[in-house]
Amino acid sequence: MINIEKAFFNYGSIEVFKNLNIKIEQKNNISIVGHSGCGKTSLLYCIKGLKELSQGSIHLEDISQKDIGLLFQEDRLLPWKTVKNNILLGLDKKIPVQKYIDMVGLKGHEDKYPSQLSGGERQRVALARVLVRQPKVLLLDEPTASLDELTKESLQDSILKLSAELGMSLILVTHHIEEAVYMGDRVIVFGDQMKEIDTKGHNRLSEKYFKNVKEVRLALKGRGHA
């Protein structure tokens, strides 16, 4: 579905990442981890078409840019609009938005404003705003970074559940190793040499989960920028 080949990205004279080769199949969730400045978010923006690679290519097979949604770290809600109107921002007001509100667990909050919501609820509104456009691929740029642990786990579970129900692939960028392992079928560790780790099996209490967390942590240790 998405094939990244020999991808390089430079920020001015600084080489951010180099020679990336990643293939993402339909209904395949991947997590990307790495040190700050190694190009994780830049890669998401290149996939979405918001930035251009310096070299290499990103091929979209059987999908277009309209099929790719992006959920940012910040909720980016408009404070003067209600939950319903934030979700419908830029869309036909006749779209049946209620099912998306229900989908993200915000039934009863339709007419509230962002100031009346918790951080987790605001991020769920942002998620519904992406889902209403029916993406086939959802890019996630540290979507739980500002949330407490319990709220974070609840949102992770909701995203995974919706991904499975909607047949939607996830590409997650995160600094949290546990989140990367839990959310991804594969974890891609950015560094001097990219490493892929099979992490399929979303169970926070399984032996495989703890083994994968340790494996990713060891892979990250001492790695420099890509």
- Residue 226: what pLDDT? 37
Q: What DSSP element (H or E) covers 189? A: strand 186-189
pLDDT band at residue 223, thresholds of 50, 70 and 90?
Answer: low
The pTM (predicted TM-score) of the whole model is 0.91
The percentage of residues in the chain with a pLDDT greater than 90, rounded to a whole number, is: 62
Q: Where are the domains of the chain?
A: 2-220
Q: What is the average per-residue pLDDT within 133-160?
A: 91
CATH of span 2-220: 3.40.50.300
Q: What is the average per-residue pLDDT within 193-197?
A: 85
Model confidence pLDDT, tens digit, residues 203-213? 888 899 999 99
Phi, psi of 106 (to 5 degrees): -120, 25
- Residue 225: what pLDDT? 41
Residue 167 reports pLDDT greater than 80: yes
How wide is the angle at C-alpha 177 spanned by C-alphas 197 and 208, nearest 5°? Answer: 55
Residue 191 reports pLDDT greater than 80: no
**DSSP state string for 6-49:** EEEEEETTEEEEEEEEEEE-TT--EEEE-STTSSHHHHHHHHHT
CA atoms within 13 A on the CB side of 127: 28
CB 77 within 8 A of CB 28: no
- Residue 222: what pLDDT? 57
Model confidence pLDDT, tens digit, residues 105-133? 999 999 999 999 999 999 999 999 999 99
Residue 84's contacts (CB-CB under 8 Å, 6 or more residues apart) are: 97, 101, 110, 111
Q: What is the average per-residue pLDDT within 49-76?
A: 92
Residue 217's CB is within 10 A of a number of other CB atoms, namely: 14
CB 88 within 8 A of CB 95: yes
CA of residue 134 relative to chain centroid, distance: 15
CB 186 within 8 A of CB 28: yes
Residue 101 reports pLDDT greater than 80: yes
Q: What is the average per-residue pLDDT within 14-40?
A: 87
pLDDT band at residue 79, thresholds of 50, 70 and 90?
Answer: very high
- Residue 46: what pLDDT? 94
